Amino acid sequence: MSPVLTGLPGSMPHDIRCALDEKIKVLLDTLIVDRPLIIDPVNLLLKWVSYAPRYQDDAKYGLALQSVDTAIVASKIADGTLFTGLESSEKRRVLEPRYRYAAFIAGLFSNLPSLASAQVMSEDKIWSPMNEPLHDFVLRNGDFHLVWSGVTRESALWIVSRHIPEPVISYLNEANPSILFEMLAAIAPEKPLSRLQQVVSTSMERVISQYKSQSTIPVDKPVAQQINLENVSAKTKETPTVKAELITTPHPDKKEQSQSGLKAEDLYKSMGEATAALFQSIAEDTERKPEVAEQIKPSESGIAIPLALIAGYGVVKAVVLDGLKRSGIMIEQTRTHIIISHEASSVIFRKSK
């Protein structure tokens, strides 16, 4: 077992373990932070991705290597990027290292949305990434079948925001609490707008380009994989295997779909689990709690919901916005509110309206 890393499959080849160790050493040399601030997030990531193949090709256990590679590239690009040019030199000395560290974290988890969006099944069991890491699912169920699909960010953002080590949050918040939210927004960004998002997006592109050049399998063709996993299954003495199939199905653009005849089941599914659960809770509370109902008010373009109300349910704003944007029901976002369409609100708040 690696001297610093946990959550690695017992069947992971020695050369991959060594490669991971070497890459972690690069990060330890690149980032000027306490060792646990690097090792702990990497171990968190490995609990989710260590069994997953790389989705560009048939590289066994490749997603862990790709994720760490992206973190390394993001750290190096961030090292040459000025994030706070308008601040005083004293503030920059505090802020800049934390933005570079945020680039490392966002790069490290940038491939998690792909895995969290995939379909993973073991016989009649289906993996739910919001309930447990893939590592735990495989240990309990053994062989699994993996189908890659369109990438959505919501589940991954929920996982990171829920499980990220407290010292990471403390380190980022020491300088400016907004850095934490910028970091979450930079995980596999759909439209890189901020400098942090641009750093991570560029890092992902560079690493993927490198892997594509090394792969002999076209990335637009289905890839079937059989991976032997020794000493994994708790259910059988036979050597478990992993079958992974790459399906390049783009995620539908929800905004272009008509909302006529909108059904609650389809709406909540398009939002993703965390955002759907949030709005179901808000809808229930509007029935039972007048103080909640009075905060949700009509506007010219839709129904306005305060961001402060959403924050009170413990869901990270970036997760909610991602789910609403994918579902196409958000009309507008202001500094204090989000506005959803009248038709969507009639579905969500159908009992109270």
Q: What is the pLDDT of residues 46-85, one digit of tens each?
A: 999 988 887 665 566 789 999 999 999 999 898 878 777 6
Q: Does 255 have pLDDT greater than 50?
A: no
Q: Are 242 and 53 in contact (CB under 8 A)?
A: yes
Q: How many CB atoms lie within 10 A of CB 76?
A: 19
Name the more confident of 293 and 107.
107
Q: Does 219 have pLDDT greater than 70?
A: no
pLDDT (0 to 100) of residue 330: 85
pLDDT (0 to 100) of residue 243: 56
Cα separation, 158 vs 274, whole angstroms: 7
Q: What is the mean pLDDT of the chain?
A: 78
Tens digit of pLDDT for each residue in 6-52? 767 777 778 888 888 899 988 888 888 999 999 999 999 999 998 88
- Give the class (CATH, top level) of 254-348: mainly alpha
- Which sequence spans correspond to the domains of the chain? 14-214, 254-348
**Out of 223-237, 301-315, 327-341, which region has the weakest mean confidence (pLDDT)?**
223-237
**Across residues 206-227, what is the average pLDDT?**
57
Q: How would residue 171 be classed by pLDDT, with cut points 50, 70 and 90?
A: very high
pLDDT (0 to 100) of residue 89: 80
3-state secondary structure of 122: strand
pLDDT (0 to 100) of residue 72: 94
Q: Are 29 and 104 in contact (CB under 8 A)?
A: no
The single-letter code of the amino acid at 190 is E
Cα separation, 70 vs 108, whole angstroms: 6
Q: Which residues of 220-257 are buried (b: 16+ CB within 10 A; e: fewer)?
A: eeebebebebeebbeeeeeebbbebebeeeeeeebeee
pLDDT (0 to 100) of residue 237: 36
The single-letter code of the amino acid at 295 is Q
Q: How many CB atoms lie within 10 A of CB 46?
A: 25
Q: Does 247 have pLDDT greater than 50?
A: no
**CATH classification number, 14-214, choose in 1.10.220.10, 1.20.1250.20, 1.10.3210.40, 3.40.718.10:** 1.10.3210.40
**Whether pTM exceeds 0.85:** no
Q: Are 236 and 141 in contact (CB under 8 A)?
A: no
